[in-house]
Amino acid sequence: MNRVPENILVVVDEAYREYITDPNYADSLKHFKAGKNIIILRTFSKIYGLAGIRLGYGIAKPEIIANLMKLRISFNVNRVSQTAGIAAIDDDEHVQRGIRLNEAGKEYLYDAYNKLGLYYVPTFANFIFVDFLKDSQIIFEELQRKGIIARTIKEYGFPNALRITIGTEKQNKHLIATLKNIL
């Protein structure tokens, strides 16, 4: 951030911020508080589980917010979404439970992927990039047939990989059992 020219606005997407447990992970609020030209975007769609209401917020200098307000659509967030957001942000127990479940699921899946000889990229989010070292389309289709939702990422240049969400303990076990049968 210190090398970014002052006339450049840095946009930081923190959709998965609550999942981060590494104390050394960069703190974008530090740059905001230092007066840097930054806008931090956050959402209630991920750990709060409120994707359907399309609610989020930005943190930025007042002059940046003022310019954005000139561009926004004429309708604000409705009262139901606002109330849900306030309730969600105050429900720290739900967030902490989500973090614990995600961490446990992540460790289980890392161990299982290692045992299956699969390459994966360690994550700070609630999904894992898994490379199958062969075209992943057949694996993707078989997972779908078994009710497991994954995402192909060949459009990003990774035809052999899938983005697989970290689920509940039951979902993760079903995923690994299915992968064992496929592979």
pLDDT score recorded for residue 75 = 77
Q: How far apart are CA 72 and CA 35, in angstroms?
A: 24
From first to last of the 183 residues of the chain, give the pLDDT tens digit: 889 999 999 999 999 999 999 988 999 999 999 999 999 999 999 999 999 999 999 999 999 999 999 988 877 888 999 999 999 999 999 999 999 999 999 999 999 999 999 999 999 999 999 999 999 999 999 999 999 989 999 999 999 999 999 999 999 999 999 999 999
pLDDT score recorded for residue 2 = 85
Q: How far apart are CA 130 and CA 43, in angstroms?
A: 25
Domains of the chain: 10-90 (3.40.640.10), 93-182 (3.90.1150.10)
CA angle 44, 50, 53 (to 5 degrees): 95
pLDDT score recorded for residue 122 = 97
pLDDT score recorded for residue 11 = 98
For residue 150, give every residue at least 6 positions away whose Cβ sits within 8 Å of its Cβ, in sequence order, or none. Answer: 140, 143, 144, 162, 163, 164, 165
Instruction: Provide the strand spans (E) within 3-48.
Output: 10-13, 38-43
64: part of which helix (H) or strand (E)? Answer: helix 62-71
- For residue 162, which of 180, 171, 142 has the smallest C-alpha distance? 142
